[in-house]
């Protein structure tokens, strides 16, 4: 009975990963950095501060 739960969970995790990566790449192309750091002037790297506002 576990097999369908297992398939659902694995599909969900892999699907989320693919979705996140697509969103991330779109952010990189659009902002020059990761979408998660889109409020940041030079995000997506270890040198970037957390509170930079891109203006």
Partner 1 sequence: MSKAAETPRRLARVAMLGNPNTGKTSLFNSLTGLRQRVGNYPGITVEKKTGVMQLGHGEVELIDLPGTYSLAAASPDERVVVDVLSGHVDGTESPEAIVCVVDATNLKRNLFLASQVAELGIPIVIALNLWDAAMKQGLKIDIEKLSERLSAPVITTVGRTGQGLPELRAAIAAALSEKPEMTRIEWPESAQQAEKELREAIPAEIRSQLKELEIRRLLFDADSPIIDRIGWNRDEAHKAIEAARKPLWDAGVNPHAAEALFQYKHLGQILEGVVAAPDESLPRGSESIDNLLLHRFWGVIVFVGMMFIVFQAVYAGAGPFMDFVEWVKVGAQSVVGPWLADMPMLQSLVNDGVIEGVGAFVIFLPQILILFLFIALLEDTGYMARAAFLMDKVFHWCGLNGKSFVPLLSSYACAVPGIMATRTIEDPKARLTTILLAPLMSCSARLPVYVLLIGAFVEPALGTFWAGVTLFAMHFVGLGVAIVLAFVFTRFLIKTKPQPFVLEMPSYRAPRMRNVLFRMYEAGREFVERAGTVILAITVIVWALLYFPRPESLAVDETQAFVVQHAQAGNLSEEDAQAAIEASEELSAQLQAQIDGAYVDQSLLGRMGKAIQPIFAPAGFDWKITVGVLASFPAREVIVSTLGIIYSLGGDVDEESGDLKEALHNETWDDGPRAGQPIFNLPVVFSIMVFFALCSQCGSTLAVTAKESSWKWAAFTFFYMTALAWLGAVAVYQIGIRLM
Binding site residues, partner 1, CB under 8 A: 2, 5-7, 9-10, 13-14, 16-18, 20-21, 24-25, 28-29, 31-34, 36, 41-53, 55
Kindly tell me the sign of the dihedral angle through the C-alpha atoms of 37, 41, 45, 49: negative
Shortest distance in whole angstroms from residue 10 CB to partner 1? 6
Shortest distance in whole angstroms from residue 19 CB to partner 1? 9
Closest to 55 measured CA to CA, from 39, 44, 43: 39
Shortest distance in whole angstroms from residue 27 CB to partner 1? 9
By CB atoms closer than 10 A (0-12, 13-18, 19+), residue 31 is middle
């Amino acid at each position: 009975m576990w097999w369908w739960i297992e398939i659902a969970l694995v599909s969900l995790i892999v699907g989320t990963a693919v979705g996140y990566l697509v969103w991330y790449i779109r952010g990189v192309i659009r902002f020059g950095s990761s979408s998660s750091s889109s409020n940041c002037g030079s995000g997506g790297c270890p040198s970037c501060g957390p509170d930079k506002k891109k203006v």
